[in-house]
Every structure is written in structure tokens, then in C-alpha cells.
Chains A and B, each alone.
Chain A
């Protein structure tokens, strides 16, 4: 509940403050957001599976974001940044879909 409220507060803050993304963070922010979404969906699934652990969520959240950003950074250095970020988005999207499917099965038994 606190997490949901915090999410809503973050959205409201973003709408109100309307910050501009720093130039250095611009390539990484979308990937980081997708990675964080993946972590959140994974956490919800873990809750429904009854294996949720706060520490695991925090670590996986931060690790997901950092690894995604690192992959994108490496891709930029190697000259394949756009392809690698596409790959990251695809993989995370697949994970989000599978997590969402598990959540759906838990909630709707279907």
C-alpha cells in the first residue's frame, strides 16, 4: 500500500515539477524505467506467489536498473547502443509480459 501510494506521489511530483532530463541520463532513463517496471511486476508476482521479500525486491529493482543502464552504456561505447537498447527493451518486455500473465492467473484464475 505504501508502495502504491509512493508510486502515485512520484507520478504527481513528476507532473507538477516537470523536470528536464539531464543530457547524460537521456539514453538511460527509458531503459531504466522499463527495467524498474519489470522489477515491480516481478515483485507483484512474487507477492502473489507468496515468496515476496522486501530485500530481494530492493536489490532486484536497483540491480535491474543498473544492469540495464550498463548494457546501454556498453552498447553506446561499442557503437551498437540503439540495437542493444532495443534488445534490452525486448527482453524486459517479454519478462513483463510473462510476469503479467502470472499475475493475471493468480488474480483471475485464468
Chain B
């Protein structure tokens, strides 16, 4: 491996030969450049492995910024769309709930009006004693109409069970209530069908017919005998006034030898229910259904 073997040395020998220290200026400058290269190499590696954007050139940064901003715009639009659909969905839910609530309230109201649900509230208790069986269907109908005019919202009538003959109609239990003209106002006029009689809910289709033998009155096909007890829910003052106007229900009853007593209550209960048969022919009209 000496310089004498100039022609066709091995490659490694050539390298070693070239690397032999010689203090020429060119050698030193080359070494300096190599050192600079190593220094720059390491520096560049360090900076490249550092933060990604510090070494990026301006146009690249602009490109990145553009793509990021367009992506951001896309995401923003997506957010807006999702929020819109969310608002739609939640709004729809609210509307549905509100509609359901309203429908339930309407259903409850209609049930009370139709007589298929029990009702409670302030009202009056009109007790009619009729020892001579002079009260006719017209009188009860008039009382009912007066109550309705006075704003009664739920009405039921209780009569003692007709025993078939006039002599046995006055049961002892109802007689006791008729005697107490001014019962305590807080007492609840329980309209439960007592052991003594029948209870009929008075609705729009209720009818009154005089029993053939004058033993009582047929109300919706149920034979009721005196004394009668009409419970109405509504404004107690208005209804009691309506009952007591001159020439009104109470006067008519008195003229016939019967006796009506109105007791106002803070709370009365109308528990009798009206059996509603499903309409056989009538169907809700589509327009009415949608409007409802």
C-alpha cells in the first residue's frame, strides 16, 4: 500500500492514500468544508425533526393555510347544517309534545262533557223532595236547562230506586238528606249511587220521560223515583241564583207541592258515567280531524 504501487491500487488503498494527512492548504479547506457539511447536516436534521412549520417555505405555508381554511369552511357549513337539523328535530319534538298535551287536555275536557269521565269541582246539590209525585219530566228538564244556562259543566241525577208503587218510594236514607237544608258547606256531596237509588249522568243526549204509572221518571231509560238529587259542577253562586229566580225551578217545584233545596259546596263529585256507544255511521271528517 505504498505510493509506488500507483497503477491500479485497490480502492480502499486509494482512499487511505488520499486520506493521508498532508498539510496543504487545499486539504485544509476541504477538511473545513467537510466539517461544515457535518455541522450543517446535523443542524438541518435537528431543525427538520423540530417543529414542522418553522422550516416550511412561504408558498407551502400559504397552501397549508388555504387547505386548512377551506376545510374549516366545510366544517363550519357542516356545523350549521347539523345545528339546523338539530333545531328542526328538537322543535319537532317540542311541537309534538305540545300537540300531545293539548290533545290530552282536549280529550279530558271532552270526556267530562261527554260524561265518560268522573269530574270534581265546586258546585251545587239540588235536592228535590216530591212526596206526592207531582214532579214531571218537564220539571226536571227545566231544572237541567237552567243549570246548563247557569254554566253547569257536569251534572248527574240521583233518584231512589223505584219500588213500583207510590207508597214505598220515599226511602229513609234520602229523606234524611232532604231534611238538612243547610248542611255544612264543606261536606262533600258524594254522588255515589247509594244503596237507595240509581245515578244517571246527564249529558247532551239525556232524556226525561214520565213513567207510565207516575211512580217516577225515566232518565236515559233508568227509572228514578223521588226524592231526586241533582249534583252539578259549575259556579255555585250562579247556579244557585239561577235555581232561585222568581218563577224558576224552585218556584215551579213549590207550586207543584214538591220542595227543592239548593246547597252549595266547595267540592262536589260527579262520579256517574255515561256509556257512549261508538258511532256506527258517523266518522270524523278529514278536515275536522286535521283542524282538530
Contacts and interface: CB of A to CB of B under 8 A. Distances in A.
Interface of A: 1-11, 13-15, 18-21, 26-27, 29-30, 32-33, 36-37, 40, 43-44, 47-48, 50, 52, 54-55, 57-58, 61-62, 76, 79, 81-82, 103, 106-107
Interface in B1-57: 11-12, 14-16, 18-21, 24, 26-44, 46-48, 54-55, 57
Nearest to A44: B15
21 contacts: A1-B20, A2-B27, A3-B30, A3-B34, A5-B31, A6-B35, A7-B37, A10-B39, A21-B44, A30-B48, A33-B40, A44-B15, A48-B11, A50-B14, A54-B26, A57-B30, A57-B33, A58-B30, A62-B33, A82-B60, A107-B15
Contacts of A27: 57
Interface residues of B, number: 38
Contacts, number: 128
Given A7-B35, A11-B42, A20-B47, A26 B15 contact: no
A33 B44 contact: yes
A40 B18 CA distance: 13
Contacts of A47: 14-15, 18
Contact of A58 (B16, B29, B38): B29
Contact of B59 (A6, A9, A81): A81
Nearest to B31: A6
Contacts of B34: 3-4, 6-7, 10, 40
Given A15-B42, A76-B59, 17 more contacts: A3-B31, A4-B19, A7-B38, A10-B35, A14-B38, A14-B39, A14-B46, A21-B43, A29-B44, A29-B47, A36-B36, A36-B37, A36-B40, A55-B26, A62-B33, A81-B57, A106-B14
Interface in B204-234: none
A20 B43 CA distance: 7
A47 B9 CA distance: 11
B34 to A, nearest CB: 4
Given A3-B31, A30-B44, A61-B30, A48 B14 contact: yes
Interface string B140-182: 0000000000000000000000000000000000000000000
Interface of B: 11-12, 14-16, 18-21, 24, 26-44, 46-48, 54-55, 57-60
Nearest to A19: B43
A10 B20 contact: no
A54 B55 contact: no
